[in-house]
Amino acid sequence: MLDLKSINDLGRHVHPIQEQLSMAIQRVLSSGWFVLGPEVGAFEREFADYCGVPHCVSVANGTDALELALRALDIGPGKTVLTVANAGMYSTIAILAVGATPLYAEVRPDTLLIDAAEVERILASRRVDALIVTHLYGLMADTQRLVEVARKYAVPVIEDCAQAHGAAQDGRRAGSWGDIACFSFYPTKNLGALGDGGAVVTAQSPLADKVRQFRQYGWSGKYHAELPGGRNSRLDEMQAAVLRVMLPQLDQWNSRRREIAARYSNGIAHPKIIVPSIHDASNVAHLYVIRTSERDRLKQHLAEVGIPSDVHYPIPDFAQVACRHVSADVELPVTARACGEVLTLPCFPELTDAEVDLIIGRINAW
């Protein structure tokens, strides 16, 4: 019997560590220190070590992380940022927030990740001031090639790792390849807090220092605002303490996510459905996304048999009403088609093999 209320059951996810979480929260309550205290400092050190970089600067959420990373690279009005249009508007929102202009690259039809060949074609033909590489659905992009292409044209790289905590290529974690990288700790992420949170990681001290200033009013010292564009964007002590409990569990959770994704890909056999390929550590299976030209009909079928599903993401950024002033003439057929076909199935570490098999059976019977 399947009893799923959503594609992520957060209650089941935190239940095994509920006692540890309660102790961490009590530790913060007892300390009387709730913002930018010892828990934040410890988490930043631990997460930087985990990612394999010297610096982590925690912020209020993943979108702030993207915006402050752009600001740290001096991206603002008159600048252009290359990104993808099939990843939920998050990069585009940050680009517009700093006053820059988004430019969209096509994605690969097999992975739906940014196409390195397309990036090189664009960089060779026009000025681009920064590249955001989005690791989508838990799968890392062709990061080494993308970084090499960007360096060839002296374009800084921002990794968007909001869906790729712990993913690795050639022994290097997501977040350690670009000039600067951004994470979200929204509760449904592979490493999720009990509320909002985010972080910027980098190997470059000047960039880390600028993000630290930006996250707290642009201060160079208390009440001394130096950098324009600063704001209040801080991870609080409670969320940092929670994340410190969860971080040691991340690799195990990711391993289970990969097992679930592989079980789906091996088991789903329907002529109208495309399943993702099975990957190694470069994929942490944040979302398990299938494709079908009859998405709405399949989604309705799944709802009728008690299987929740979702769409990540239904509208390309360039087609959003909020973006029409900067993207009216964009045509990306692979991106547009993908947005009309993708469907997300339940995939979280506590999902059982029996539940996965039941979902597979209901899909194959469609």
Q: For the segment 101-127, what is each residue's pLDDT rounded down to a tens digit?
A: 999 999 999 999 999 999 999 999 999
Distance CA 61, CA 43 (A): 15
End-to-end Cα, the chain, rounded Å: 18
Query: pLDDT tens, 209-221?
Result: 999 999 999 999 9
For residue 1, what pLDDT is reported?
59
Q: Can you tell me the distance from the alpha carbon of 349 to that of 38, in angstroms, rounded to the nearest whole number?
A: 30
Q: Is residue 178 predicted with pLDDT exceeding 80? A: yes
The pLDDT of residue 183 is 98
What mean pLDDT is predicted for residues 24-40? Answer: 96
CATH number for region 10-248:
3.40.640.10
Task: In whole angstroms, give the CA distance from residue 361 to residue 347.
Answer: 16
Closest CA to 95 of 120, 116, 118, 78: 78
Look at residue 44 and tell me whether its pLDDT is greater than 80.
Answer: yes
pLDDT for the residue 252: 98
In this structure, how many other beta carbons lie within 10 angstroms of the beta carbon of residue 83? Answer: 24
Cα–Cα distance measured from residue 55 to residue 181, given in angstroms and rounded to the nearest whole number: 10
φ, ψ of residue 244 to 5 degrees: the values are -65, -30
Cβ within 8 Å of residue 132, ≥6 positions away: 66, 81, 82, 83, 84, 91, 95, 157, 158, 159, 160
Dist. CA 230–CA 232, nearest whole Å: 7
Q: What is residue 213's predicted lDDT score, i.e. its pLDDT?
A: 97
pTM: 0.96
- Specify the CATH number of the domain 249-364: 3.90.1150.10
Mean per-residue pLDDT of the chain? 96
Region 144-166 average pLDDT: 98
Checking if the pLDDT of 268 tops 70, the result is yes
Q: CA-to-CA distance for 136 and 148, rounded, in angstroms?
A: 20
Q: In the chain, how long is the greatest CA-to-CA distance?
A: 65
Q: Where are the domains of the chain?
A: 10-248, 249-364
Spatial CA neighbour of 317 closest among 305, 325, 306: 325
Q: What is the pLDDT of residue 243?
A: 98
Residues 258-269 have a mean pLDDT of 98
Burial of 182 (0-12, 13-18, 19+ CB in 10 A): buried
Any residues with CB less than 8 A from the CB of 43 and at least 6 apart, and which? Answer: 56, 58, 235, 240, 241, 243, 244, 247
Q: Is the peptide bond before 313 cis (omega within 30 degrees of 0)?
A: yes
Is the dihedral angle over the CA atoms 125, 314, 66, 346 positive or is it negative? negative
| Closest to 52 measured CA to CA, from 163, 178, 154, 145 | 178
